[in-house]
Amino acid sequence: MSTLRRLLAACLVVLALAGATMARAQTPVERHGQLRVEGNRILGADGRPAVLRGMSLFWSQWKGGFYNADAVRWLAEDWRVDVIRVAVAVEPGGYLAHPEREWRKAERAIEAAIGAGLYVIVDWHAHNPHPEAAAAFFERVAQRWGDRPNLMYETWNEPLPDHGWAEVVKPYHEAVIPRIRRHDPDNLVVAGVPSWTQDVDVAARDPLAFANVAYALHFYAGTHRQELRDKAQAALDAGAALFVSEWGTTNADGDGPVDVEESRRWWDFMAANQLSDLNWSINDKDESSAALRPGASRRGGWREGDLTESGRLVRARLRTLAR
């Protein structure tokens, strides 16, 4: 090979490496930009489906120590998440009782996610309706960060089975979402549905009349199986966009064995339908759905021995899909 050819080959290698480095250096928000709902898909600014994967933080009133920039940065860099979920606990002992305390925790996590170039779901983590408190909270969030494409709003985590869609849940969202839209007309709203956010087929038949709304879907692999996937498929077939804002590898109570095979069936379903998802959760509670073992650092830097079986499984998936 001539000297000129060697030089050209070397230049091509350098350019390829530089391009790969630049691609890896892109943050999720730089990669996808402003999200929007079109039909039953969530698209990025380039018009292609934006599939985000990440981790949910735990109830803020109990595990607020993980709501810090170091933990969020570790999730971005080591776990390679695209999105985190800030689970602002409403009750018991949460935002209703201590609004400024819980606001400060949420603020730290939101600012950290924005600083890391991640998307962030701000989740009103409640089972019972508190529409005026939720509306005031989300209006405050939208006023503060609504100009950032990073933000998403999960307006009600998990309505209970006796909270009917038409009677309770849909009117709740119709009261809360306009308060967000006063200040943020663009960012995605993720709306919870009855039965611990599983009745997406019911919501799809009577959808909310707002732009850029997706419906939350929650599942736990040890409890929720093909029947719930069928409900999700029915919702998608009816034209609803879905966002899996909470899922677990275990039983629905957060404990029990890690169900690897059923988790993989859910992963296949989500991949086939280009659904974004966040695993529950980053915390060190002594239960099998927790990603961390008791006593793990609140500030990231977790090694293999700090992770539970679920944590190892989920981290490996996130890192594999991020390649």
Catalytic residue among 139, 158, 262, 287: 158
Q: For the chain, what is the largest distance between any 2 Cα atoms, rounded to a whole number of angstroms?
A: 78
Say how far apart CA 229 and CA 308 lie, in whole Å. Answer: 26
Cβ density class 94-108: b for 16+ within 10 Å, e for less: bbeeeeeebbebbeb
Q: Verify whether residue 246 is a known catalytic residue.
A: yes
Candidates 200, 207, 260; CA nearest to 230 is 200
Q: Verify whether residue 158 is a known catalytic residue.
A: yes
Catalytic residue among 102, 139, 154, 246: 246
State the burial class of residue 238 (Cβ atoms within 10 Å of its Cβ: 0-12, 13-18, 19+): middle
Catalytic residue numbers?
158, 246
